[in-house]
Amino acid sequence: MRSRLLSLLTVLSGLAVGLAAGPLSEPAHAQAPGGPPPKVTVAKPVVRQIIEQDQYTGRFEAIDYVEVRARVTGYLEKINFVDGQTVKKGDVLFVIDRRPYKAALEQAQAAVASAKARQSFSQTDLERAQTLSRSGNISEQVTDQRRQASQTAQADVDSAQAALNNAQLNYDFSEVKAPINGRISRRLVTEGNIVSADQTMLTTIVSLDPIYFSYTVDEKAFLKYQSSLGIGMGQTQQGKGVPILIALSGEPKPTRKGTLDFVDNRVDNATGTILLRATVPNADLFIKPGLFGIVSMPATKSFEGVMIPDEAVAANQDKRIVYLLGPDNAIQQRDVVLGPKVDGYRVIQSGLKGDELVVVNGTSRVRPGVKVTPDTIELPPSKT
């Protein structure tokens, strides 16, 4: 019985070996030999004068912002604008009932006329007394009394004139005029309401052209800008300074030009940042205060930069490397230090001179020492 069992196990083992060596497996010598060298695209880096740009997020602000308030108390009689329209400085926006202030103005005018009449009479009376005093026909005391009366009358004229000026101001303030050029908001008070002097806010106005763009940079970046570009070192005027470009939300690249012309006078202790502000023309009034934007500002002076496409850069743990075409079409590896992007290319701060042939397409198929079939191309000056 045991011999039969052993024989059966031997047959089964032989059958298993036969199946393993059957048509599902191929002998080692039947595998396909190695293919031709991989094809890659190589090109020399773009070398030209560039200026590195840094980007920050900021917000647009109106240069002028005014809360329009009534300067006299009264009945709001008329509103002379459409909500949201553009207004000019001096345009009459609101009219407060002018009749009480007109009456007060006329009363003040009459008071001035009366005071001037009394002053004229007292002056004539004084001159008559001075003439009689020289001939001895009147005492010095009477002359002094008339001089005092003349001076009092002159003071009354001055007081009445001051009251007239105040009445004229109140009358003028009954017409609320636009203090600046800009776009007006909605009316906050409707006709028929009583408004209070210096308390009731009627509407707001913001200027739109030009407009400010404010953003903050960290202390390290600011020191770099101050050293390389002189930003924040001297006094600047509005519209005169470092040129910048701004992109609104959703725009693929910055196109709106501006001028960095203000740097705050201190670094914020809480955040370690400093405020920078640019003046941006807004002739089409497209930009509104409060909108976000991304500013691109120069980070360096013009220099000769070496640039390659991002696809040409590979990673080796924490290092960044590029593959170069060496002698006999063998691949070489080079460590590089990356900079920012300029015109669609990646700036190489160190590691390349600019005369090398860099693998720009097919980096996943090569390794150091591997021979390749190169296709040499010329990169355009700008990728964007």
The whole-number average pLDDT for the span 266-295 is 91
Residues 339, 358 within the same domain: yes
Q: 111: domain CATH number?
A: 1.10.287
Residues 212, 294 within the same domain: yes
Q: 254: domain CATH number?
A: 2.40.30.170
Q: How far is CA 265 from CA 174, 262, 271, 311, in A?
A: 41, 9, 15, 43
Pick the closest to residue 182 from 163, 162, 210, 159 (CA basis). 210
Report which of residues 291 and 145 the model is more confident about: 291
Domain end position, chosen among 279, 298, 317 = 298
Structure tokens at 121: 């009479």
Confidence band of 79 (pLDDT split at 50, 70, 90): very high
Q: Which amino acid is at 17?
A: V
**b/e burial code for range 192-231 (CB count within 10 A of at least 16 → b):** eeebeeeebebbbbbbbbbbbbebbbeeebbebbeeebeb
The whole-number average pLDDT for the span 171-199 is 92
**Residue whose structure tokens are 């001096």:** 90
Whether 122 is covered by a domain: the verdict is yes
pLDDT one-digit tens code per residue, 299-319:
888 888 899 998 989 888 888
Q: In whole angstroms, give the CA distance from residue 174 to residue 94.
A: 8
pLDDT at 50: 86
3-state SS, residue 4: helix
The whole-number average pLDDT for the span 184-192 is 92
Instruction: Calculate the average pLDDT of the chain.
Output: 83
Q: Give the burial class of 23: count Cβ atoms within 10 A of its Cβ; 0-12 exposed, 13-18 middle, 19 or more buried.
A: exposed
pLDDT surpasses 80 at 33: no
With contact defined as beta carbons under 8 Å apart, do 262 and 214 qualify?
A: no
Residues 58, 114 within the same domain: no
pLDDT at 147: 81
